[in-house]
């Protein structure tokens, strides 16, 4: 039976709460798992993991189940219709009750970050599987995919086009904690980072890591990778009726990839699901330089690293 004292358990709610060394450690664990899952077989044998998903999920939920099974965990799946939060119970009360039944919780709310924080107060080993503000395990999967292609992520320069959402925010926190990484954000006016948040991230990094523009120049700074996501986060519609016209200049096409490439061709990244021919063309999504399949593969790598970390069994140093 799995037995780790509560003192060894911790949460993974945001990469902003991790140091550079801690991000490197989680990333190393994830990368090692991705390359040799069998090495981690039954590492968390008998641990009880609740998978609480109140919003749709294909890759994240499946990958956490896959990782948990490989690690030897028992899993409990609870959807929106099975949780009393749908009838008004608070996330804090939900966490207090579930702490008696599970060792860790993987939670997707698509709601405010502070809801998850209240649950984690009672259930320390909580993983953020997506809130409105952040998606930390996606950034770890991205880190692994970049390492697959480039051999490492340090000193890489990325461009992000389109809506700044939870994926973009976690990617920015990642960039601030990977030595030498830069992130150039190109978003429509009103769809990017607030200026104050941008300043705070760069202040924490001690250098200008994240920059932002509200148009895409004809000759942008060359990058190693170009990233985009859906223009409607979690399918939530925009309030303005002409939003498609505002986002159209940020669509990623073969020509966009050429404009952002330097001496070497830039690779393409997308967290999925994609609305083909909207934020990116199929030609780009399916190109040989698309890291999208590896990002999807490494969702399990990131999930395993997250579970190992929150349950006090992070093994990167072994």
What is the per-residue DSSP string for 244-263? HHHHGGG-B-HHHHHHH--S
Q: Is residue 1 part of a domain?
A: no
Distance from C-alpha of 183 to C-alpha of 186, rounded to nearest angstrom: 10
Co-location of 260 and 236 in the same domain: yes
Residue 48: its pLDDT value, please? 97
The predicted structure's pLDDT at residue 270: 98
DSSP codes, 7-35: GG---BS-GGGS-HHHHHHHHHHHHHHHH
Structural domain span for residue 104: 6-134+299-310
| pLDDT (0 to 100) of residue 231 | 94
CA–CA separation, 201 and 128 (whole Å): 20
Quote the number of domains for the chain: 2
CA 22/CA 306 separation, integer angstroms: 12
Neighbouring CB atoms inside 10 A of 261's CB total: 16
pLDDT less than 50: residues of the chain: 317-318
Which value, to the nearest 10 degrees, does the dihedral of the CA atoms of residues 202, 208, 210, 215 take? 130
Token digits of residue 288: 């040989």
Pair (121, 169) in one structural domain = no
Q: What is the CATH number of the domain that holds 66?
A: 3.40.50.1370
What local confidence, expressed as pLDDT, does residue 176 receive? 98
Distance CA 277, CA 286 (A): 12
- Do 154 and 233 reside in the same domain of the chain? yes
Whether 118 and 234 share a structural domain:
no
pLDDT value of position 4: 65
Same domain, 170 and 253: yes
The structure's pTM equals 0.96
Distance, first Cα to last Cα, the chain: 22
Which pLDDT value is given to residue 317?
45
**Residue-level pLDDT at 8:** 82
Both tokens assigned to 64 = 């956490």
Domain membership flag for residue 305:
yes
Q: What is d(CA 253, CA 250) in angstroms, rounded to the nearest whole number?
A: 9
Polymer length of the chain: 318
């Amino acid at each position: 039976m799995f037995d780790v004292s509560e003192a060894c358990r911790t949460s993974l709610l945001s990469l902003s709460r991790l140091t550079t060394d801690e991000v490197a450690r989680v990333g190393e664990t994830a990368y090692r798992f991705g390359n040799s899952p069998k090495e981690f077989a039954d590492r968390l044998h008998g641990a009880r993991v609740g998978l609480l998903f109140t919003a749709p999920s294909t890759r994240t939920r499946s990958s956490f189940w896959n990782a948990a099974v490989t690690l030897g965990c028992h899993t409990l799946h609870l959807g929106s219709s099975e949780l009393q939060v749908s009838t008004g119970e608070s996330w804090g009360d939900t966490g207090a009750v579930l702490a008696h039944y599970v060792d860790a919780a993987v939670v997707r709310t698509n709601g405010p970050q502070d809801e998850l924080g209240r649950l984690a107060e009672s259930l320390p080993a909580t993983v953020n599987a997506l809130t409105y503000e952040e998606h930390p395990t996606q950034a770890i999967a991205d880190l692994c995919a970049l390492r697959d292609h480039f051999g490492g992520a340090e000193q890489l320069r990325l461009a992000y086009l389109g809506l700044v959402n939870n994926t973009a925010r976690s990617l920015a926190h990642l960039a601030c904690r990977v030595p030498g990484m830069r992130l150039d954000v190109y978003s429509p006016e009103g769809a990017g980072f607030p200026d104050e948040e941008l300043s705070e991230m760069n202040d924490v990094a001690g250098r200008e890591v994240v920059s932002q523009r509200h148009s895409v120049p004809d000759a942008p700074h060359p990058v190693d990778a170009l990233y985009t996501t859906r223009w409607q986060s979690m399918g939530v519609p925009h309030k303005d009726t002409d939003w498609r016209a505002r986002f159209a200049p940020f669509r990623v096409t073969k020509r966009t990839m050429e404009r952002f490439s330097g001496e070497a061709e830039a690779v393409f990244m997308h967290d999925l699901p994609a609305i083909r021919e909207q934020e990116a063309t199929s030609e780009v999504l399916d190109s040989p330089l698309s890291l999208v399949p590896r990002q999807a593969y490494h969702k399990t790598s990131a999930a395993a690293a997250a579970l190992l970390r929150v349950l006090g069994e992070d093994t990167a140093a072994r």
